[in-house]
Chains A and B, each alone.
Chain A
Amino acid sequence: MEKFVSVESVGQTFDTKNGKFVALRDIDLSIAQGEFVALIGHSGCGKSTLLNLIAGLTAPTAGVLLCDGREIGGPGPERAVVFQNHSLLPWLTCYDNVYLAVERVFGGREGKARLRERTLAALELVGLLPAEQKYPNEISGGMKQRVGIARALSMQPKVLLMDEPFGALDALTRARLQDELMKICAATQATTVMVTHDVDEAVLLADRIVMMTNGPAATIGEILSVDLPRPRNRLELAHEPRYIDCRAAVLEFLYEKQAHPRLAA
């Protein structure tokens, strides 16, 4: 497998009021083109920090990150981010929030009508066409999160970075969007990194699950390859021995090997 994104001995130290805080150390990870990687670990271990590094929103204090053979120097639309707190602009409607992204990526070469089509298609994908003209403070938390997803997907990024994108959703919507995401990833061959707390979600979606140790100074504890065939069906998987094994392995890591998250400073 050819590596598309690579993280090479990366460390992240924050300067805080109480001195230096080592959030991440010695992270080494290569992600192949089209691969789906799930990042899992206890709260506060540094998953968002790692995702922000890949996004280019923050610069590492040690090591280097590469994407498509070039060093990641900053963020860009080819690496779309679904933020943990959705980060919609409150003065724009759902439509305009997505349109802002669509216009930026495709505005140079496509007409207004086509941009509008793209925006509506992205909103339809997450089932939010009816809320198109609503403002973020008029919709529920889960709906906001879905607009955030629509915004990222509408950009057709090479790398899709998602920070707990389905965290605020109910089980049914979550399942529907997981299925939708699998289809999109299969169709677009987007390289995807998804932070999650949910073991089932990780096993269902990911090619590899990166399990992180507890912070501070967190690093990668184990990497599990989920060699289940695609397309995957959640109902069939439930009885698949390999699926059950993967699930057990992640649970064991989280609740035995990393059972006592030290209270993060």
Chain B
Amino acid sequence: MTALSIVAAKPSAVAETPPAACAEMYTDAHPDAHTDAHKEIQREAALEAAIAARAAAAGERRARLRAFLKRALPPLIGFALFIGIWHLATLSASGLPGPLQTWKAAVVLFADPFYQNGPNDQGIGWNVLSSLQRVAIGFGFAALVGIPAGFVLGRFSFMNAMVNPLISLLRPVSPLAWLPIGLLVFKRADPAATWTIFICSIWPMIINTAVGVQRVPQDYLNVARVLALSEWKVVTRILFPAVLPYMLTGIRLSIGTAWLVIVAAEMLTGGVGIGFWVWDEWNNLKVEHIIIAIFVIGIVGLLLEQFLIMLAKRFTYENT
């Protein structure tokens, strides 16, 4: 929008004013030689047009640059301010590493993210990957249970009425409260952490799927009813495609919370994982590593979210 208007405004401004100015100049110098002056003016005008065209191209480049800056500048300023404040804050307060110190530590750390010195000392890459693996497994089971459960609850109001109070009761509970149960049942730390992920992922999956099923437009269901489609066809041809956007929202929320919860769960269970790593670095008093971990967790979470948003866009159908 702004880019276009700038491009449109520039050439005309360049092309119009100068020839007029030239004409005045020449008539002043040779009051009688009108034709000469006229030719001169034409030549000048052509030259000006060429310049104007080049100016227009330059203007377009400039406009594009400006549009880019307009988008990129505020976040850049934001980050710069943040780093500035961080730097100032660490000048006085003792113990907290500043941006530069953290950066240096990060360079060292990311030089070899996949080293392995025994089970309790592994590169940050391994820690992130094993956290992601736990999230994937826990979430995968949650989807396996939650999506069909959501379909059943959405389709049969009796089931919904039966299970809904239970879900409302359990949903606000922090998934970490379930960790001891996991430890008790599975006897090992690793599946217990996965278990908390399962618990925190399943609620958004069930609820969003059920809401999606309930909100399938009546028009589509009327088509199914007139055609008297089999329940299988209703599910595959009408319910599933119509509910898919809701399911993807559920998946996005689930993975978002799962990524929040895994850090805390791993702090408690130990082993390999980004949460455990944060705790371990705290015990080693390597605070700059903790700050790096915070950024890494943030970036991974952001990437997960963006990926799922992309996926959701692909499967959202415009209502006709």
Contacts and interface: CB of A to CB of B under 8 A. Distances in A.
Given A89-B238, A91-B241, A100-B237, A80 B317 contact: no
A239 B219 CA distance: 42
B320 interface: yes
A136 interface: yes
Interface stretch (B103-111, B135-143, B222-230): B222-230
Interface string B194-224: 0000000000000000000000000110110
A182 B242 CA distance: 36
A136 B320 contact: yes
A137 B316 CA distance: 12
Given A57-B222, A83-B219, A100-B237, A90 B227 contact: no
Nearest to A144: B320
B222 A83 contact: yes
Contact of A90 (B222, B233, B319): B319
Given A83-B219, A85-B219, A100-B237, A90 B318 contact: yes
Q: Give chain A's interface residue range (CB within 8 Å of chain B).
A: 20 to 34
A157 to B, nearest CB: 9
Interface string A77-108: 10111010111111110000000110011000
Q: Which of B220, B223, B228, B238 has the most CB of A within 10 A?
A: B223
A142 interface: no
A90 B241 CA distance: 9
A105 B228 CA distance: 9
Interface in B235-281: 237-238, 241-242
Contacts of A155: 227
A100 B234 CA distance: 11
B318 A75 contact: no
Interface in A110-129: none
B317 A90 contact: yes
Contacts of A91: 241-242, 317
Contacts of B228: 75-77, 104
Contacts of A57: 222, 225-226
Contacts of A90: 317-320
Interface residues of B, number: 18
A80 B226 contact: yes
Contacts of B222: 57, 75, 81, 83, 87
Contact of B227 (A74, A92, A101): A101
A100 B171 CA distance: 40
A55 interface: yes
Contact of B237 (A81, A87, A88, A89): A89
A16 B241 CA distance: 31
A8 B4 CA distance: 66
Nearest to B219: A87
A55 B86 CA distance: 69
A92 B229 CA distance: 16
Contacts of B225: 57, 74-75
B317 A137 contact: yes
Given A89-B220, A89-B237, A92-B237, A77 B226 contact: yes
Interface string B172-198: 000000000000000000000000000
A85 B319 CA distance: 12
Given A87-B219, A92-B237, A100-B237, A79 B320 contact: no
B226 A76 contact: yes
A72 to B, nearest CB: 12
Interface string B308-320: 0000000001111
Given A75-B228, A77-B228, A100-B237, A87 B318 contact: no
A104 B317 CA distance: 24
A89 B226 contact: no
20 contacts: A55-B226, A57-B222, A74-B225, A75-B222, A75-B225, A75-B226, A75-B228, A77-B227, A81-B222, A85-B219, A86-B320, A87-B220, A89-B220, A89-B223, A89-B241, A90-B319, A91-B241, A104-B227, A105-B227, A137-B317
Interface of A: 55, 57, 74-77, 79-81, 83, 85-92, 100-101, 104-105, 136-137, 144, 155
The 10 closest A-B pairs by CB, nearest first: A91-B241, A87-B219, A90-B317, A136-B320, A137-B318, A75-B225, A75-B226, A104-B227, A90-B320, A81-B226
Interface of B: 219-220, 222-223, 225-229, 233, 237-238, 241-242, 317-320
Given A57-B225, A83-B223, A87-B219, 12 more contacts: A74-B225, A75-B228, A76-B228, A77-B227, A87-B223, A90-B318, A90-B319, A90-B320, A100-B229, A104-B233, A105-B227, A137-B317
